[in-house]
Amino acid sequence: MNGNWNPWGQKPRHYVAFWKSVYNAVQAVPGAAGKVSFVWAPNISGGGYPWGGLGTAPFVNNGTDTPKTAANALNADEFTALDTNGDQILDAADDPYLPYWPGPQYVHWIGAS
């Protein structure tokens, strides 16, 4: 869900918007509300956040030793969501899961993978 090897990885605003649209579409199907559950289950990592994956997504020309900052982010809004402590650097001090949380009204179960 949150690993940048996924097309939506390190794009929490995109992910949450899509989650909510799928949830709302399923809930709109007559009879589905009582038969379908939504499980929010982020990839749990033992360390190394922000994770590798598709090169250095979502950053431009960012080597592994280059700080991941707003200045080299592909999308300022997504970077702001990822920078949970507001220090303008995406690093291990940021919460790797909170930006992907769609909210309790859109989740029935919480898991981990």
> What pLDDT, on the 0 to 100 scale, is given for residue 63?
57
> What pLDDT, on the 0 to 100 scale, is given for residue 103?
98
Please tell me the distance from the alpha carbon of residue 9 to that of residue 81, in angstroms, as a whole number: 13
From the centroid of its chain, how far is CA 1?
A: 7
Please tell me the distance from the alpha carbon of residue 63 to that of residue 49, in angstroms, as a whole number: 15
- Among 58, 46, 109, smallest CA distance to 83 is for 58
- Among 97, 84, 75, smallest CA distance to 14 is for 75
In this prediction the pTM is 0.83
> What pLDDT, on the 0 to 100 scale, is given for residue 16?
96
> What pLDDT, on the 0 to 100 scale, is given for residue 27?
95
> What pLDDT, on the 0 to 100 scale, is given for residue 80?
93
> What pLDDT, on the 0 to 100 scale, is given for residue 23?
97
- What does each of the 113 residues of the chain score in pLDDT, given as a tens digit? 666 667 777 789 999 999 999 999 999 999 998 899 999 998 787 666 776 555 556 676 655 667 788 888 888 898 999 999 999 988 889 998 999 999 999 999 999 88
> What pLDDT, on the 0 to 100 scale, is given for residue 29?
96
